[in-house]
Amino acid sequence: MAQPQRQQRQQQQQQQPQRNRKYDLVVFGATGYTGKLTSEQVLQGTPSTLRWAIAGRSPQKLELLAHEYNRLYPDRVPVEIYIADLSEFSVERLASCTRLLISTVGPFIKYGTPVLEACAVYGTHYVDCTGEYPWVYEMIKRCHKTAKRKGAIIIPQAGFESAPIDWGTYALVKAVRDELGVGVTDVTFSVHNLKGQFSGGTVETAMTVFEHATLQELHEASQFDALSPIKGPEQPFRYPIRKDEDLGLLTSWINNSGDRSVVFRSWGLLDGGKYYGEQFTWKEYMRVTSYITAFIWMLLMNVAVIIPLISPLRWLVRKLFHPGQGEGPSEEARRTHSVEWRGVAIADEDTDTPRKAFVRVHSTIDAYTLTAVCLVQAANSILFNKNTMAAEMGGGILTPACLASPELFRLLDRAGLKIETKII
């Protein structure tokens, strides 16, 4: 489309104040595995007066879903369907018809850019479940300033990866600040327990990131403070296997880099690093029960990082482990899945034995339902809580921690994610 026509269209649509938009919320990717769970959470966890739509490229699939949702929830404002693909015109229309968009259309590095960009340009709030931090790194460079100027609160990485960890870290810091009056120097997290299986979209995404980013881009985005708005404090070397007196025997965890990228963006966004602490260090491990398991897991984690870099191995993983597009763990399997993280923060006290805070972040629901819960409760906070830190910041590409509030933690608790802290 010609540039002047595009500009004219944007100017006309941007003059529409957010409150006059047709929908409060749209779920884009509603026909996918995570999208369906997200719509179910919208039905269960948002006000019944919410004006909302499910969006995607397949009218037949959307109609079937909308029919079912409206049958099951007759007392709610009926859900509408919205046909959208990834063309510039389509995503701009989509972004301009709603106050908030939840996107579960992935791989995000392949499909996500026009969607997030349109939300930034049209001042539309946005939440997604990407775990692809190299893509988020690019989006921050490209869209943060526009989003802030337009007042769009944009929260990527708000799914199972990495929202619970970001909220858990915030909760630790807040407990230390509230009870001891200081910041923290060091936080260690462990994946204490994880039972689950991958969806087709997750396997596809893990293999796709490396087809769309160069090694140089991946290296840049993998720096611990790459997503932070300010340079982070130096991080000490830590052995990949170690025993922690509060968390037990720990080994390498594959999602340390992804979760760390979000945590350090939160660190930098919240009072320029002063709220968490200027000497803040952070690392995530996985808990194991013996040194042999620790060693085997450490090797497996290193192999898992290398596989997606090699094209024939990517082909093999797709062939052997891909459950199929739109597929994922069955409802019955999901009932047996759960996840728990534990974390410890050391208070920034000038003594040889500084006090500590402990957090337990545990979910009685599986990782995919948890993703849907995190997305929908993040959306609720943006739409209905005008006093979040994200609202005070006025928008931009932010993090789940920027939405943290007692109200959000209460809603998460009710939906199955419990975040409990204590000073130890």
Ligand X SMILES: NC(=O)c1ccc[n+]([C@@H]2O[C@H](COP(=O)([O-])OP(=O)(O)OC[C@H]3O[C@@H](n4cnc5c(N)ncnc54)[C@H](OP(=O)(O)O)[C@@H]3O)[C@@H](O)[C@H]2O)c1
Residue ranges binding ligand X (CB under 6 A): 29, 31-35, 56-58, 61, 85-86, 104-108, 111, 129, 131, 159-161, 199-202, 205, 325-326, 328, 368, 371
**Residue 107 or 277 having the CB closest to ligand X:** 107
Token look-up 């500084």 returns: 354
Question: What tokens were used for 251?
Answer: 């080994």
Q: Alpha-carbon distance 195 to 204, whole Å?
A: 20
Minimum Å gap between C-beta 287 and ligand X is 20
Nearer to ligand X, 127 or 129 (CB): 129
Pairing verdict, β 52-56 and 125-128: unpaired
Question: Minimum distance between the CB of residue 38 and ligand X, rounded to whole angstroms?
Answer: 9
Beta strands in 253-298 (DSSP E): 281-288
DSSP state letters, 324-386: -TT----HHHHHT-EEEEEEEEEE--SSSS--EEEEEEEESS-HHHHHHHHHHHHHHHHHH-T
Q: Which is nearer to ligand X, 205 or 257 (CB)?
A: 205
The span from the CA of 351 to the CA of 348, in Å, is: 9
Smallest distance from ligand X to CB 255, Å? 9
Three-class SS state of 297: helix
- To the nearest whole angstrom, how small is the minimum distance from the Cβ of residue 27 to ligand X? 9
Closer by beta carbon to ligand X, 122 or else 160 = 160
Q: What is the nearest approach in angstroms of ligand X to the Cβ of residue 156?
A: 10
Phi first, then psi: give them for residue 376, nearest 5 degrees: -75, -40
Least distance to ligand X, CB of residue 17, Å:
28
Residue number with CB closer to ligand X (69 or 275)? 69
Do 94 and 29 contact (CB within 8 A), yes or no? no
Say if residues 134 and 109 touch (Cβ distance below 8 Å): yes
Residue 360, CB-side half-sphere exposure with 13 Å CA sphere = 11
Q: Which is nearer to ligand X, 188 or 202 (CB)?
A: 202
Pick the closer one to ligand X by CB: 302 or 325: 325
Report, in Å, the least distance between residue 7 CB and ligand X. 25
CB of 245 to ligand X, least distance (A): 30
Residue placing its CB nearer to ligand X in the complex, 346 or 373? 373
User: Where on the phi/psi map is residue 367: left (φ > 0), alpha (ψ -120 to 50), or beta?
Assistant: alpha
Contact present, 285 and 251 (Cβ < 8 Å): yes
